[in-house]
A = this chain, B = another copy of it.
Amino acid sequence: MSDPQVLSFRPKADQYVWTFGGAAPAARVAPGAVLELWTEDCFAGRVRGKDDLVSQVCEFPYLNPQTGPFYVEGAEPGDTLAVHLVSIEPSRDWAASTTVPLFGALTSTHLTATLQDPLPEVVWIWELDRSRRSCRFSARDSGFTAELPMSPMHGTIGVAPANLEVRSALVPDAFGGNMDTPEMRAGVTCYLGVNVPGGLLSIGDGHARQGEGETCGVAVECAMNTVLAVDLLKGLATPWPRIESDTHIMSAGSARPLEDAFRIAQADLVRWVAQDWRLSELDAYQFITQAVEAPLANVCDTNYTSVAKLRKDWLGGGVATMRGAHERLKEIARAYRG
């Protein structure tokens, strides 16, 4: 294999994009390219200590800056981008998390509107030990500390939406976006249906780690050095985001109420298995009912996101789903690493 095209891009503060759709491409890349990217944290880097309250230091709607978008040459509506996450590494030795007034799963919000007072706004600074791969939590109101494994991921990855829309980078939907699933980690390939010429891929919102559901609405947020490899699957439509790892295939649905996000993900997985492994839809429905994992992604964003996850080896071998893009992109990643 020849060396892949490599593009390095670290946006300046005035180059961040805040939406999916509606922004001019940062660069054009060919299928097969490797992208070395830097992403700022969801606070645009403005929460740096315990006194940096989001409501004071951040400027709405300038939240969740994205790096991109990248125009993939040849991509057209009806195609699919395959994006392999080669590596995701925190670029600082700390990360921040907060409560945000009227945001999160265990508070009323602007949509789940009540007459109660909001919860207090509090910041937690987590220490990242990149050699030990750990995240250290220090309680604000007691001496409790804990060390959790680092498990870097991107909360946000997506393309320009369909239907002529431009969406805030805080939104997850069929175009991907702010899905906030811990499954979006190094080593997986994410499949995103193309809605506009070039696809317009962006990524951001790095998390040193995150629980399933992102309960308070904010993960262990940090800037990331991330390497991607991109491929293009012509003429293959992908209605909702899919993820493939060495061991699993996954579908991600985003909607409200949460059962609809679950339904979307499970129905897409049923149809994926039915089509590529040649089962009837009812047989796939039965099989998945007994075999699926359903790790929640977020229950706090504009849409909630639910993932349906299935072990590939339980389906038997011999099927190169999504045209074998995952293995091909791993080859590119190996060539890139040298």
Contacts and interface: CB of A to CB of B under 8 A. Distances in A.
A31 interface: no
A164 B166 contact: yes
A74 interface: no
Given A115-B107, A139-B280, A282-B119, A296 B299 contact: no
Interface stretch (A47-55, A230-238, A283-291, A324-332): A283-291
B112 A304 contact: no
Nearest to A126: B290
Contacts of A124: 286
Given A61-B162, A114-B106, A213 B262 contact: yes
Contacts of A22: 22, 164, 166
B258 A257 contact: yes
A214 to B, nearest CB: 6
Contacts of A336: none
Contacts of A115: 106-107, 119, 267, 270, 281-282, 285
Summarize A's interface: helix, strand, loop or mixed. loop
Given A164-B19, A289-B211, A293-B212, A108 B113 contact: no
A169 to B, nearest CB: 9
B258 A255 contact: no
A114 B267 CA distance: 7
A286 B137 contact: yes
Interface in A119-142: 119-120, 122, 124, 126, 135, 137, 139-142
Contact of A270 (B18, B106, B112, B165): B106
Nearest to A151: B290
A219 interface: yes
Most chain B beta-carbon contacts within 10 A, residue among A18, A144, A167, A278: A144
A88 interface: no
B139 A283 contact: yes
Contacts of A110: 264
Contact of A256 (B256, B291, B295, B306): B256
Contact of A262 (B19, B61, B105, B135): B105
B213 A163 contact: no
A14 interface: no
A279 interface: yes
A256 to B, nearest CB: 4
A276 to B, nearest CB: 12
6 contacts: A116-B119, A117-B117, A140-B283, A146-B287, A148-B291, A215-B292
Q: Top 9 nearest A-B pairs by Cβ distance? A: A257-B257, A141-B280, A211-B292, A258-B258, A212-B294, A166-B166, A113-B267, A139-B283, A256-B256
